[in-house]
Amino acid sequence: MSWFREKRLPKARVPYTAVPLESPEGGRVHFSDDLHDSDAADVEDNELFDMAQPSEVLEVADNDTAYYGMALSSRQRMRKRRGFWVTVVVLVVFSVVGMFWLYVGGISWMQRSQKRNVILMISDGFGPASETMARNYMQKTRGLPVGYQSPLDELLVGSSRTRSSNSLVTDSAAGATAFACGLKSYNGAIGVDADKGPCGTILEAAKLQRNMATGLVVTSRLTHATPGAFSAHVAGREMEDLIAEYQVGNYSLGRVVDLMLGGGRCHFEPGTRGNSSCRVDDRDLLSEAKRSGIRTLNSRQEFDKLEAHAADVLPLLGTFALSHMDYEIDRDATQQPSLTEMSEKALQVLEAATRGRNSGFFLMIEGSRIDMAAHTNDPAAHVREIIAYWDAVAAVRAYVDTHPDTVMISVSDHETGGLSVAKQLGSEYPEYLWNPHALEAAQHSIEYISRRLLPGPLQADEVQDEASKYAFVRDTVFTKWLGIADAKHEEILAVAREADSIQLRELLSTALSDRAQLGWATHGHSAVDVNLYAYGKDAHLLRGNHENTDIGTIIEQMLDLDLSEITRMVKQDRIIQSTSAHTEAWLGRRDLDAPEHYPHIH
């Protein structure tokens, strides 16, 4: 190849060189640097020269001469290809940078600029066995098919673990604090951590950080454990007077709850009001609320007249009972709205209040008395409370269907009663059955019945002497109110003679539960995992088995909240009630709202 290197012509005189066909370059044309455009125009793309005769102008082309040895059309295509890949590289770089920006800041901006509604529904004391019992009850008493699904069955996504910081068996206060603050705390804690430090709640953060409208709808007292944990910070759940003060805005953050519907007016009334109050002091929180601009509702009639779609309804405080609202099985529809009616009204009010805004609302709805019926081991009241909760779930789901920016989460704080959907009645091997029809004819709760049998303002006139009381228990309590037509003499006599509220309720529970063949392990709570349901936007985030604290942290992430910032803001707030608080040795007595808890409230 030495002759090839030595005998080459000056580039000024030779417009191109060629490479032999047998070479790796395949005889392609290569143009000289100074003639690579005009002089090459007549050379066809990839044209090969006949190299049969020796040539003195051949040389091995390097990368530069290879490019200029191409025809013009080939070089133009190469330029286009180079431009294409440069464009691709630039787009990739910008995409990576853009994705990084979204990750560190853009997602936060997008979340804050998008309207979101979060509806957290809490079925207090509602365990998996209770869902089965209520489904079976509906199937058998309504003649529904075997494949019937409840409004909750269709939304099942996982389960929640329920332990508190100091016990494997939580109470409602610690359970609600886990949801509200996203952290574990001790039994009895209301919006405080395990060291009794106030913890910021998702309701407070939604109001202050996202300018969202906020609401609480319950069938218990509004000052009870679950609503209290979202709206107050107190060391013990029995400090309901202080919880009420928080709820009307008497703390560092001011008023953060826009809408409250439920029971518990007695904790907002001054102690000077006698039987209408259960406050220890004389503060009139209802009057204070009105002076601060809060609209108050105290009756079913006022509730019905409320123009929910008006833009100026909030802030709103509606209390429809002195203490807890009545069980669904006892409720007089002319006196108290149902959980579904209050939920629908709340959705209408919050929807109107946030119309035209890019901030939605946070609403907590609690089926409070599912738990209390289970504390009494009252299967008839328990199943009716579950069905009432299902109705509320169906109403909320209908709202979500027309508002795709909304998510509904339904979860229980714990299971109550240790319910088993079967019961062995004797020493012999049990039958494989339970009887839903035994609950169908019941007309009143055990709580309602016991108040008519024991001394007090609600005691029935027919129980003033032993003979008339026996007849009343036989003909009214068993036959009419419990729907038991085969009551034995011993059962009737035991109920007629019992003077203790707790023991009386136990006798009535046994009469119903044995006939239905339902078992109860406790009058308290159990440690069983509870079902988790979700529907709507980002519902998939709830799939799987979660700690109860995850519910709060997932909502925090959904709404791009910072609970730690709220915690810093409330850390100096008062957590101890200045006056004495009502306490009970057995938690169930308080949750049952038995006459002995507030002797002057009936």
Catalytic residues, which ones? 172
The H or E element spanning position 410 is strand 406-411
Residues in the chain: 602
Which amino acid is it at 265? R
By 3-state DSSP, what share of the chain in percent is helix, strand and coil, each rounded to 5? Answer: 45, 10, 45
Residue 115 main-chain phi, psi, to 5 deg: -75, 130
Closest by CA position to 594, among listed 418, 456, 414, 416 = 456
Specify the 3-state DSSP secondary structure of 371.
Answer: helix
- Adjacent-strand bridge partners of 536: 407
| Contact (Cβ atoms closer than 8 angstroms) between residue 414 and residue 169 | yes
Which amino acid is it at 142? R
Compute the distance between CA of residue 374 and CA of residue 380 in angstroms, rounded to an integer.
10
Which amino acid is it at 58? L
Q: 472: which 2 tokens?
A: 């009343």
Distance of CA 355 to the CA centre of its chain: 22
CB contact set of 357 (below 8 Å; sequence gap of 6+): 115, 211
Compute the distance between CA of residue 428 and CA of residue 303 in angstroms, rounded to an integer.
54
Which amino acid is it at 342? M
